[in-house]
Amino acid sequence: MKKLLYLALFTAYSLTSCTLQKRMYSSGFHLEWPTSWGNAKSAKNHKYVNLNAQNATNKTSSTDEFAKAVIANLGNKPTLLKPVSYANSAALNLPKYKRKTAAEKTLAGVDLFVHWTGENPNEIAEKAKKLETESVELTMITNRGIKVWPEGFRETFCTDHWRCRFKPTEGHEITKADIIALLTKALDENIDTIKTENLYSFNGKPAYSLGQGQ
């Protein structure tokens, strides 16, 4: 119960530190909080300084006494510090949000993510090139974000998760129908496609990442 109570107080302080500190100063005492979560879990006692007392002294309290002191002083006005009031504060006047003009979105290609347990990028490239059509071709293969085909490095450690990037051939545009055709061919060639990701350009600028090494 004590741990839950302390956790609740610690969370409340973290979320509303500024407001809580002002209210605690207004109440006449200052709290010394643990400097880290590790200290917070191991701390058994908490200290506070009674600023209202003329002969202010440090007092060590239990968790229950600490919580009661916080509750008892909430809402009180300060006796040593200048009171803070937000009663006459002006309301925030936020400008009305205006939606930006939509950019021109163009399908630029598709990434087929393939599960393959082999290790040689050239072998999976041969398999993936069987999916090509007149309008779509394989342009890159990555593994863990690193380009491994074409002209990859043999030293690159590869997992069983491969990204095969297909883009339109010169003079053609890729369509959603082309993506369906790629997936259909992958099924026929027994290539285990685990997901796809469409590649788009906005106002002529690519909005997709390149493989490391491109």
Rounded Cα distance, 7 and 2, in Å: 8
Amino acid at site 61 = S
Q: What is the pLDDT of residue 53?
A: 45
CA 97 to chain centre: 24
CATH 3.30.70.1570 residue spans of the chain? 105-206
CA-wise closest residue to 164 among 189, 138, 186: 138
Q: What is the pLDDT of residue 21?
A: 43
- pLDDT tens for the chain, 214 residues long, are 555 555 555 555 554 444 444 444 444 444 444 444 444 444 444 444 444 444 444 567 789 888 888 888 888 887 778 888 878 778 888 899 999 999 999 999 999 999 999 999 999 999 999 999 999 999 999 999 999 999 999 899 999 999 999 999 999 999 999 999 999 999 999 999 999 999 999 999 999 998 887 7
Rounded Cα distance, 191 and 142, in Å: 16
CATH architecture under which domain 105-206 falls: 2-Layer Sandwich (3.30)
CA-wise closest residue to 78 among 7, 150, 21, 126: 21
Matching residue, tokens 């163009």: 106
Q: Are 154 and 162 in contact (CB under 8 A)?
A: no
Q: What is the pLDDT of residue 91?
A: 80
Helix (H, G, I), strand (E, B) or coil at 67: helix
Q: Are 61 and 69 in contact (CB under 8 A)?
A: yes
Matching residue, tokens 């090494």: 213
